[in-house]
């Protein structure tokens, strides 16, 4: 099927941002500290740098508490960083004017582990997706049914799911709805923060396959965050390994998986089932 509405051509003025040598998203020496329970400052993200290029899947792996979600929040401008910069196509967007921030916010979508917590329990799937489509429609027009059906089809759902409430869906179907909602704003970048971690292994594989399809169909760039190196190896082209807020290893996914250089990564590999 042709990629019809999602991922439509960019508007005027964006062509200059389209240079493929420029990373689509970049973290430059990012740091963020929080006060711990003992009142002392602790670095949750410590001097993290990386580049995400158009069409690639960058995996970020690390144990619980290593700073992955904080990093995601910095990239999404949901938390302000203490030092460094987040760049979207070379622009430090979290510190840009409100209009620019609104524009870039629509380019970066996120899917979390538990979409149920972010769905309004009174809303059915159709309402959730219509609401997200309306966010994207700049002219305020009501979403077209064709757009809604395209979104559902893209994530392997159909008309029969429109009236269902998320709590009546399976975990995998719920995550498909969350992905559809993330796609509704026509993002260029998808950040997945433990998005398959709550699912059974067989359902995980289905969602990973879906993400591969969507990446190709909508030329998405994907930042895939997980504590599970096996899942990361399955989907990522390149991998960053985080420990205590810092990047301890970065490389091609196969290299990191089969020939890890850092002792911590070697431990992660050894711990795989």
Residues of the shown chain interacting with Mg ion in the complex, contacts defined by CB under 5 A:
68-69
The smaller minimum CB distance to ligand ADP, of residues 161 and 233, is found at 233
Q: How far is the CB of 131 from ligand ADP (least distance, A)?
A: 27
Q: Which of 44, 108, 191, 236 binds ligand ADP (CB under 6 A)?
A: 44
- The residue to which tokens 């260029």 are assigned: 188
Could you say which of ligand ADP, Mg ion, none residue 44 binds, taking C-beta under 5 to 8 angstroms by partner kind? ligand ADP
The smaller minimum CB distance to ligand ADP, of residues 13 and 39, is found at 39
The verdict on 31 binding ligand ADP (CB under 6 A) reads no
Could you say which of ligand ADP, Mg ion, none residue 67 binds, taking C-beta under 5 to 8 angstroms by partner kind? ligand ADP
Could you say which of Mg ion, ligand ADP, none residue 62 binds, taking C-beta under 5 to 8 angstroms by partner kind? ligand ADP
Q: How far is the CB of 112 from ligand ADP (least distance, A)?
A: 11
Answer yes or no: are the C-beta atoms of 155 and 210 closer than 8 Å: yes
Tell me the helices (H) and strands (E) count for the chain, helix number first.
Answer: 9, 9
Pairing of strands 238-243, 83-88: unpaired
Residue 61 makes CB contacts below 8 A (sequence gap 6+) with: 225, 226, 227, 228, 229, 232, 239, 240, 241, 242, 268
The smaller minimum CB distance to ligand ADP, of residues 20 and 117, is found at 117
Q: How far is the CB of 205 from ligand ADP (least distance, A)?
A: 23
DSSP lists the bridge partners of residue 191 as: 110, 223
DSSP lists the bridge partners of residue 227 as: none
Measured distance CA(32)–CA(168) in Å, rounded: 39
- The residue to which tokens 């602790």 are assigned: 42
Q: Is residue 226 classed exposed, middle or buried when 0-12, 13-18 and 19+ CB atoms within 10 A define those classes?
A: buried
Chain residues 55-114 in contact with ligand ADP, contact rule CB under 6 A = 62, 64-70
Q: Which residues bind ligand ADP (CB under 6 A)?
A: 34, 44, 62, 64-70
């Amino acid at each position: 099927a042709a990629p019809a509405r999602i991922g439509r051509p960019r508007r005027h003025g964006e062509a200059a941002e389209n240079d493929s040598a420029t990373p689509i998203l970049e973290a430059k020496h990012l740091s963020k500290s929080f006060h711990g329970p003992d009142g002392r400052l602790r670095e949750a993200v410590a001097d993290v740098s990386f580049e995400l290029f158009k069409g690639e899947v960058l995996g970020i792996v690390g144990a619980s508490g290593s700073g992955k979600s904080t990093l995601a929040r910095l990239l999404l401008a949901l938390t302000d960083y203490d030092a460094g910069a987040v760049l979207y196509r070379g622009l430090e967007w979290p510190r840009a004017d409100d209009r620019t921030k609104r524009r870039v916010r629509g380019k970066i979508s996120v899917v979390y582990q538990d979409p149920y917590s972010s769905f309004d329990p009174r809303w059915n799937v159709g309402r959730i997706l219509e609401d997200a489509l309306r966010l994207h429609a700049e002219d305020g027009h009501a979403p077209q049914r064709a757009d809604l059906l395209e979104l559902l089809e893209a994530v392997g759902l159909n008309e029969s799911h429109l009236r269902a409430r998320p709590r009546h869906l399976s975990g995998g179907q719920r995550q498909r709805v969350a992905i559809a909602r993330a796609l509704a704003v026509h993002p260029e970048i998808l950040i997945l923060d433990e998005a398959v971690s709550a699912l059974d292994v067989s359902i995980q594989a289905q969602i990973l396959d879906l993400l591969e399809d969507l990446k190709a169909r909508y030329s998405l760039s994907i930042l895939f965050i997980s504590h599970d190196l096996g899942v990361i190896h399955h989907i990522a082209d390149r991998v960053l390994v985080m420990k205590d807020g810092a990047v301890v290893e970065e490389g091609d996914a196969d290299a990191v998986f089969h020939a890890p250089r850092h002792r911590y990564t070697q431990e992660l590999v050894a711990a795989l089932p």
